[in-house]
Amino acid sequence: MKSLSILLIDDDAIERIKFKQVCKKIKFNCSIIEAKNGNEALECLNNEQNSFHIVISDLQMPKMNGLELLKKIRYIERLKNIPMIIMSNSQEDHHLKECYKYGISGYFTKPSNFTEYTKKVKAVLKYWKSNELLSN
């Protein structure tokens, strides 16, 4: 696979910038489309000109949060199999269980330390880049 196409959803502009900085720092070949909430993300996903390998979403956002978005896309035939990874500041067990109940593909907490954040994002991206299901 030449480049991973990512839909990145987070209401915090600094978090979106930080994610893109990590991708640049680790020289990760990807294209990133950004959305500020689940509503914007759903518009991007429903636009048939867009094709994403993975969706990476914050959990807690205004208008439509990550869990609400996850529930919606799992019922849309064209979108239901797109891997969705939740990244969150929440370490509450019930959030994690609720996300897995609706079929997330991964969940990680966002550490405040940039070095730790970089390690986590790099591990997630490396896994999905090497995933054979996405190589087509």
Segments forming the whole domain that contains residue 32: 4-134
pLDDT digits (tens, 9 = 90+) for 62-93: 999 999 999 999 998 889 889 999 998 877 78
At residue 133, the pLDDT reads 56
| Number of domains, the chain | 1
Nearest CA to 32 out of 63, 48, 10, 12 is that of 10
SS3 57: strand
At residue 136, the pLDDT reads 47
Instruction: Spell out where 4-129 has E strands.
Output: 4-9, 30-35, 54-58, 84-88, 106-109
**Residue 41's CATH number:** 3.40.50.2300
pLDDT-flagged residues of the chain (< 50): 136
